[in-house]
């Protein structure tokens, strides 16, 4: 019996999400020591977790299953976000919640304004939901009319918005969001970067039961490798998500680290402030080169339009010097690179390399 006759043919060409390679593998490929890599391609917090957070994870009882009800974690997140614990559902990263939400609705289609984070499209396709991509305007604001149209035309029951948006860095416009909340669809506002800038839309949940906010510990708290994120919604929707998620979706180390990060949020706020300051310094220095044009960003990364040479060449040349950035060249995002904010030394290495490139 051949696998072709058994497996889903609609997944044959599923190559949507290109995974990030482990640091040691990357370093070996490039031929530099791991500690010389300047990793500015995945918006991670290069300060890493605070020691107290690392120690909390290490102290977890690894031999005991996690609490499926997430009682302590949900209480800590609720305290952090200023909501009721009954409104919170934690997951193995925000990505897990994106998946659970799509499975709860199982819509024929979802709407994704592009350029967008790739995971919405990837997880929708796995659930046989058609990702209907609606191009943003030239300044990356939403095309509300086209989104309304797409929801009606394709019976899309989920709209994925990102605030601030990845990879463009711009915040969500409040009036546009309110217009979309009247539609017969769940409106998912992914606030993965909200700790770096932009005003949270969580207060709107009380008035709109179709609004779900996603957050993560991956970016601000430096816990990307532990996988912990969460949703905030009405208690009714949270109950449905709790019922559908895998019972042990947040492991005990991740749970302990997330709670410790909340307990130590004042210290982590210093790292966040440093990254925001560095984002602005990096933007100024890179823009001053004259051939990389920044789009305004309130997140911990900046998108630059590359002038006069292919973005891929810039990314490849940086990579040969051990500096990793993301490049884009596709219909919705032509000839751009996205650079994460790092530590001052990371910026200095980046800028020196870019100066070398232009000679
Ligand atoms: C990084 C990122 C996430 C991923 O969150 P995890 O908690 O690491 O799964 C979600 N949404 C956006 C827009 C991101 O950029």
pLDDT of residue 59: 97
d(CA 222, CA 272): 10
As given in the structure block, the two tokens for residue 12 are 């044959």
Nearest CA to 304 out of 322, 319, 289, 317 is that of: 289
d(Cα 131, Cα 108) in Å, to the nearest integer?
A: 9
Q: What is the pLDDT of residues 277-307, one digit of tens each?
A: 999 999 999 999 999 999 999 999 999 999 9
> Per-residue confidence at 62, pLDDT binned at 50, 70, 90?
very high
Backbone phi, then psi, for 205, in 5-degree steps? Answer: -60, -35
Q: What is the structure's pLDDT at 144?
A: 97
Q: Kindly report the pTM of this predicted structure.
A: 0.96
Of residues 310, 297, 296, the one with CA closest to residue 357: 310
Helices (H), the chain: 23-30, 51-59, 71-81, 93-105, 119-126, 144-154, 174-180, 235-244, 252-263, 265-287, 311-320, 344-357
Given pLDDT bands bounded at 50, 70 and 90, which one contains residue 86? very high
CA atoms of 84 and 61, how far apart (whole Å):
27
The predicted model gives 91-115 an average pLDDT of 98
Residue 335 main-chain phi, psi, to 5 deg = 50, 60
With a 6 Å cutoff on the Cβ, whether 190 touches ligand 1 is yes
The fraction of the chain above a pLDDT of 70, given in percent, is 99
| Ligand 1 neighbourhood includes 99 CB (under 6 angstroms) | no
Ligand 1, atom 5: nearest CA belongs to which residue? 94
CB atoms within 10 A of CB 15: 7
Token representation of residue 161: 């918005």
Residue 16, pLDDT score:
61
CA atoms within 13 A on the CB side of 48: 5
Closest C-alpha residue for ligand 1 atom 2:
192
What pLDDT, on a 0 to 100 scale, did the predictor assign at position 358? 83
Tell me the C-alpha distance between 127 and 304, whole Å: 33
pLDDT band at residue 131, thresholds of 50, 70 and 90? Answer: very high
List the residue whose alpha carbon is closest to atom 15 of ligand 1. Answer: 166
If one residue of 39, 73, 118, 166 were mutated to test the ligand 1 pocket, choosing by the most ligand atoms within 8 A of its CB, it would be 166
> What confidence score (pLDDT) does residue 19 get?
66
| pLDDT tens-digit series, residues 9-32 | 988 878 766 667 888 898 999 999
DSSP-assigned beta bridge partners for residue 257:
none
Place of tokens 């990364």: 301
Q: Is 167 in the pocket of ligand 1 (CB under 6 A)?
A: no
Tens digit of each residue's pLDDT (9 = 90 or more) over 231-271: 999 999 999 999 999 999 999 999 999 999 999 999 999 99
Output the pLDDT for position 21. Answer: 80
Q: Is 95 in the pocket of ligand 1 (CB under 6 A)?
A: yes
Q: Which residue has the tokens 């918006």?
A: 43
- As a whole-number percent, the residues of the chain with pLDDT over 90 amount to 91
Give the mean pLDDT of 319-348: 96
Residues 6+ apart with CB under 8 A from 38: 322, 323, 324, 342, 346, 349, 350
Six-digit token string for 96:
């897990």
In sequence order, which residues have a C-beta less than 8 Å from that of residue 282 and are 6 or more positions away?
Answer: 302, 339, 341, 342, 347, 350, 351
Mutate to test the pocket of ligand 1, among 44, 95, 101, 340 (most ligand atoms within 8 A of CB): 95
**141-196 residue pLDDT tens:** 999 999 999 999 999 999 999 999 999 999 999 999 999 999 999 999 999 999 99
**Helix 265-287, helix 344-357: angle, nearest 10:** 20
List the domains of the chain with CATH numbers.
3-48+266-357 (3.90.1150.10), 52-264 (3.40.640.10)
How far is it, in rounded angstroms, from Cα 165 to Cα 161?
8
What is the Cα–Cα distance from 304 to 163, expressed in whole angstroms? 19
Q: Is 94 in the pocket of ligand 1 (CB under 6 A)?
A: yes
- Position 326 pLDDT exceeds 90: yes
Measured CA to CA, the distance from residue 24 to residue 33 in angstroms comes to 8
In this prediction, residue 22 carries a pLDDT of: 85
What was the pLDDT predicted at 285? 98
CA dihedral 319, 321, 323, 328 (to 10 degrees): -30
DSSP result, 142-181: --HHHHHHHHHHHTEEEEEEESS-TTT-PPPPHHHHHHHT
Mean pLDDT calculated for residue range 124-150: 97
């Amino acid at each position: 019996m051949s696998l072709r006759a058994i497996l889903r043919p609609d997944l044959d060409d599923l190559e949507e999400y290109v995974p990030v390679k482990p640091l040691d593998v990357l370093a070996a490929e490039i031929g530099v020591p791991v500690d010389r890599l300047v990793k500015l391609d995945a918006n991670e917090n290069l300060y890493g977790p605070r020691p107290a957070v690392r120690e909390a994870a290490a102290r977890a009882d690894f031999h005991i299953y996690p609490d499926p009800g997430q009682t302590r974690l949900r209480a800590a997140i609720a305290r952090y976000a200023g909501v009721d614990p009954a409104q919170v559902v934690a997951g193995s990263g925000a990505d897990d919640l994106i998946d659970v939400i799509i499975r709860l609705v199982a819509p024929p289609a979802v709407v994704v304004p592009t350029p967008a984070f790739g995971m919405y499209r990837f997880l929708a396709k796995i659930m046989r939901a058609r990702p209907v991509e609606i191009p943003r305007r030239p300044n990356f604001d939403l095309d509300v009319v086209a989104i309304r149209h797409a929801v009606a035309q394709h019976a899309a029951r989920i709209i994925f918005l990102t605030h601030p948006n990845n990879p463009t860095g711009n915040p969500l416009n409040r009036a546009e969001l309110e217009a979309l909340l009247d539609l017969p669809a769940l409106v998912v506002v992914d606030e993965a970067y909200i700790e770096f800038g932009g005003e949270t839309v969580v207060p709107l949940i009380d008035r709109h039961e179709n609004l779900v906010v996603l957050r993560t510990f991956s970016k601000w708290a430096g816990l990307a490798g532990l996988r912990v994120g969460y949703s905030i919604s009405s208690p009714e929707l949270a109950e449905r998500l709790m019922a559908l998620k895998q019972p042990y979706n947040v492991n005990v180390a991740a749970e302990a680290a997330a709670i410790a990060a909340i307990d130590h949020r004042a210290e982590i706020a210093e790292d966040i402030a440093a990254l925001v300051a560095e984002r602005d310094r990096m933007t100024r220095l890179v823009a001053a080169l004259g051939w990389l044009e920044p789009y305004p960003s309130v997140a911990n990364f900046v998108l630059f339009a590359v002038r006069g040479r292919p973005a891929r060449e810039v990314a490849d040349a940086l990579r040969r010097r051990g500096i990793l950035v993301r490049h884009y060249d596709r219909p919705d995002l032509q000839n751009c690179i996205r650079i994460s904010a790092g530590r001052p030394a990371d910026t200095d290495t980046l800028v020196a390399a870019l100066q070398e490139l232009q000679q």
